[in-house]
Amino acid sequence: MKLLVKGGRVVDPASGRDAVGDVFIADGKIAAAPGTPDRTLDAKGLVVAPGLVDLAARLREPGYEHKATLESEMDAAVAGGVTSLACPPDTDPPLDEPGLVDMLRRRAKALSRARVYPVGALTVKLAGRQLTEMAELAEAGCAAFSQGNAAVEDTQVLWRALQYAATFGLPVWLRPEDAWLARGGVAHDGEVATRLGLAGIPAFAETIALAAIFELVRATGARVHLCRISSAAGVALLRRAKHDGLPITCDVGIHHVHLSDMDLGYFDAQCRLEPPLRSQRDREALAAGLADGTIDCAVSDHAPVDEDAKHLPFAEAEPGATGLELLLPLTLKWGMERKLTLAQTLARISSAPARILGAASGRLEPGAPGDLVLFDPQASWRVTPEALKSQGKNSPFLGMELAGRVRATVVAGQVVYEA
Amino acid sequence: MPGNPQLDANGELQHLLSIEGLPRELILKILDTAESFAGVTERDIKKVPLLRGKSVFNLFFEGSTRTRTTFEIAAKRLSADVINLNVAVSSTAKGESLLDTVANLSAMQADIFVVRHGSSGAAHLVARHVKPHEHVINAGDGRHAHPTQGLLDLYTIRHYKKDFSGLTVAIVGDVLHSRVARSLIHGLTTLGAPEVRVIGPQTLIPAGAAALGVRVFHSMREGLRGADVVVMLRLQNERMTGALLPSAQEFNKHYGLTAEKLALAKPDAIVMHPGPMNRGVEIDSAVADGPRSVILPQVTFGIAVRMAVMSMVAGGG
């Protein structure tokens, strides 16, 4: 199968290339010399970019099929232009055994849509006590190890987990949050939570955890990626640590770049997220940190939640927002607001996360995986339950118009989505 | 952010969910209406026909005797039919959700839902899902709001102090968990009370409290100085020992209202408490039963205030 994508505005964030041209894919990979194509996609007026790479997308299988299924969420991924995604281990049972990982990979492969990179559980049942068989899990295909949103309360276990992962050179992805300080909290501990009478999670729940992780990275040499940073103080700590040469990377949830606790309004459960939306000052620091490279990449933090679980008083509602189909438009919106080039903007959701994942995708040079997204950056669409392929219709952006429509998605030279 | 969900298109009261966001004129109208009902409660025949034929459902997901009873009395004095549901021990125990419970009662032709729930925002959630002719009155949601209590507190203060423009009001104790404090603070700042103070240890004062328009005091002696009104908050039993407070005794020593501490307030200061009281913890009996206490009149005024609110949301203009 040879595919020619013709006449689009080709944007390659890895090389900075941004020019009208063609992209040719042969044998599932980007090819240099054009041959005779089996199929041609007309990309006139569209941006042609590497397929998006999302480091946090919950597919809800196994265990939570009432919220979403692999089929529905893989459809959502390609409809959102996401061609590679890492799924956190917070399924039921969690991804703590090689058999589960193997099954997930097989099921995903059989659907032949986006590439799925399972993230294995760092501890058995995510309970934070016993280490998983990380080496085995890595052989089964785990790209990294994490706790999802569960904590490792016992810092000795965290220390040992990082030592063990470092032994095998395995990456560990951690969400920095002190479990004790966050206990019971549902909103940023500030004026809004005080006014609404919601239990708060202070920003120092994040900075204290960050400080602990930084020390453990220094002690163990583990490769740590930080997930979902949420506070201005956290960004400042991260900037200093990177300046000191600590080998860490970091992502931010795309919702947190646009929303703050003010958006909770009158208890809007769609804005119940983990970590919580913080103040406008925090949001500004996250948007700026993502622009200046302190934060390496943005993720959808896709969490499909069924309607009943959101139709509850704020504190009882299940946290999370659907995100796979919003990642591109929300990142484009952020890039416009920060006055970045399209290549710079797209780097945060393609080349940068691909590098963290250790995947060859996220760029358009010959030999790279033939994964593409074709989108119209001007075309706007309204976020409605009907417009979303994801089974999760839970979004703070419901009813809003967003610019950036995916017209086609290509994985390994196969057109897996067209609109 | 959507518009104020408790007002209708004409700015009239559709629901009562929180004092926050109520215009000053509307609060005063509620207090004036309550005053007109105060006469009714003192008559031999304590009934007016304003809500005749209407159904009031008392939906209490959290235990309460006083608030539920005063709502019931208020509704009956307006000639409404009252149905009490102690949901804490019925449907929810069987796993029925808040909204399912409301939908079922709605099918039984309700006009007013009086809702108490342990989770902040519960009344807002119910208000978003009821039919246009149904009204929701928040009888306390988590730590968020208890607007009828706040209104009866305002009524009490106005009754004894006539006007708010020169008042210093001190609210003492567990502000962090108190919906009563939040509602009263919004009411006082809206009505122009120049100095609202909250007094308590740092563990019981929420982050960013100053943004509510209050002055924060950690010393009760300093906070009480020159106060016209002292509002004591109830300290829940489960909060008396643990990480928030070491003991009820130590709390009482520093933040309990004694006659000696009350002497620091103005000589004509009144003492309020939303009840139920923990005598010997947040308030000494000598003060609770003393000449400055207006704790029992608060209960009486509460009936008139709840009559006012119910008649204004559902009285048909």
Q: Is A115 helix (H, G, I), strand (E, B) or coil?
A: strand
Domain match, B280 and B153 both: yes
The token duo for A237 is: 């700590």
User: Does B192 fall in a domain?
Assistant: yes
A269 neighbourhood in chain B, CB within 8 Å: 125
What CATH number does residue A277 fall under?
Answer: 3.20.20.140
Query: Which pLDDT does position B90 carry in this prediction?
Result: 61
* Percentage helix, strand, coil for chain B under 3-state DSSP, each rounded to 5: 40, 15, 40
In a domain, A209, yes or no: yes
User: Does B186 lie in the same domain as B163?
Assistant: yes
Of A202, A265, A312, the CB nearest to B98: A312
What's the total number of domains in chain B? 2
- Span A130-151, mean pLDDT? 97
Least confident of A15-29, A105-119, B93-107, B250-264: B93-107
Considering the domain architecture, whether residues B161 and B247 belong to the same structural domain is answered as yes
Q: How confident is the model at residue A122 (pLDDT cuts 50, 70, 90)?
A: very high
Decide if pLDDT at A134 tops 80: yes
Residues B203 and B252 in one domain: yes
State which residue of chain A sits closest to B18, comparing Cα positions. Answer: A196
Determine the 3-state secondary structure of A165 from DSSP.
helix
Distance separating alpha carbons of residues A368 and A31, to the nearest angstrom: 8
- Can you give the pLDDT at residue A26? 95
Overall number of domains in chain A: 1
Q: Give the Å distances, CA to CA, from A187 to A273, A276, A279.
A: 8, 5, 10
The DSSP symbol for B6 reads: T
Q: Give the range of the structural domain holding residue A104, as residue numbers without chain letter.
A: 51-368+377-402
Q: How far apart are CA A86 and CA A93, in angstroms?
A: 17
Q: Order of strands across the sheet with B112-117? A: B81-85, B55-60, B112-117, B135-141
CATH number of domain containing B199: 3.40.50.1370
Q: Does B15 touch chain A (CB under 8 A)?
A: no
Across A383-398, average pLDDT:
97
Percent of the residues in chain A that have a pLDDT greater than 90, as a whole number: 97
Q: Say if residue B84 is in the same domain as residue B169.
A: no
At residue B3 the predicted structure's pLDDT band, cuts being 50, 70 and 90, is low
- Touching check for B1 and chain A: CB below 8 Å? yes
From chain A, pick out residues whose CB is under 8 angstroms from the CB of B212: 191, 194-195
- Say if the Cβ atoms of B209 and A194 lie within 8 Å: yes
Instruction: Give me the residues of B, 204-223, that contact A with CB < 8 A.
Output: 206-209, 211-212
3-state DSSP assignment of residue B314? helix
Looking at CA atoms only, how far is residue B37 from chain A in angstroms? 31
| Residues on chain A touching B1 (C-beta within 8 angstroms) | 262-263, 265-266
pLDDT tens-digit map of A173-220: 999 999 999 999 999 999 999 999 999 999 999 999 999 999 999 999
Statement: residue A95 has pLDDT above 70: yes
Model pLDDT for residues B192-242, shown as the tens digit of each residue: 999 999 999 999 999 889 999 999 999 999 999 999 999 999 998 888 878
Residues B158 and B119 in one domain: no
Residue B9: how many other CB atoms lie within 10 Å: 7
- Does residue B15 lie in a domain region? no
> Span A328-351, mean pLDDT?
98
Same domain, B281 and B229: yes
Q: What is the mean pLDDT of chain A?
A: 97
| CA–CA gap between residue A156 and residue A176 (Å, rounded) | 16
Report if residue A82 sits inside a domain.
yes
Q: Is residue A199 part of a domain?
A: yes
B97 contacts in chain A (CB < 8 Å): 308, 311-312
Structural domain of B84: 24-145+299-314
Q: Which residues contact B182 (CB under 8 A, 6 or more apart)?
A: A195, A197, B20, B143, B144, B145, B146, B150, B212
Label each residue of A259-290 as H, E or C.
Answer: CCHHHHCCCCHHHCCCCCCCCHHHHHHHHHHH
- Does B109 fall in a domain? yes
Any idea which residues of A carry the catalytic annotation?
301
Residue A417 lies in a domain: no
> Of A330, A345, A246, whose CA–CA distance to A297 is shortest?
A345
Inter-chain CB proximity A312 and B1 less than 8 Å: no
A33 located within any domain: no
Do residue B44 and residue B111 come from a single domain?
A: yes
CA-wise closest residue to B84 among B117, B112, B60, B62: B60
What residues in chain A have their Cβ under 8 A from chain B's Cβ atoms?
A: 189-191, 193-200, 202, 262-263, 265-267, 269, 308, 311-316
Q: Please give the average per-residue pLDDT across A273-292, as a whole number.
A: 98
Q: Which of B1, B120, B207 sits opposite A314 (nearest CB)?
A: B120
Task: Kindly state whether residues B77 and B152 are assigned to the same domain.
Answer: no
Closest CA to A124 of A108, A109, A139, A136: A136
Asked if A362 and A405 touch (Cβ cutoff 8 Å), the reply is no
CB-nearest partner of B212 from A195, A267, A314: A195
Q: How remote is the C-alpha of B156 from its chain's centroid? A: 12
Question: CB–CB of A64/A318 below 8 Å?
Answer: no
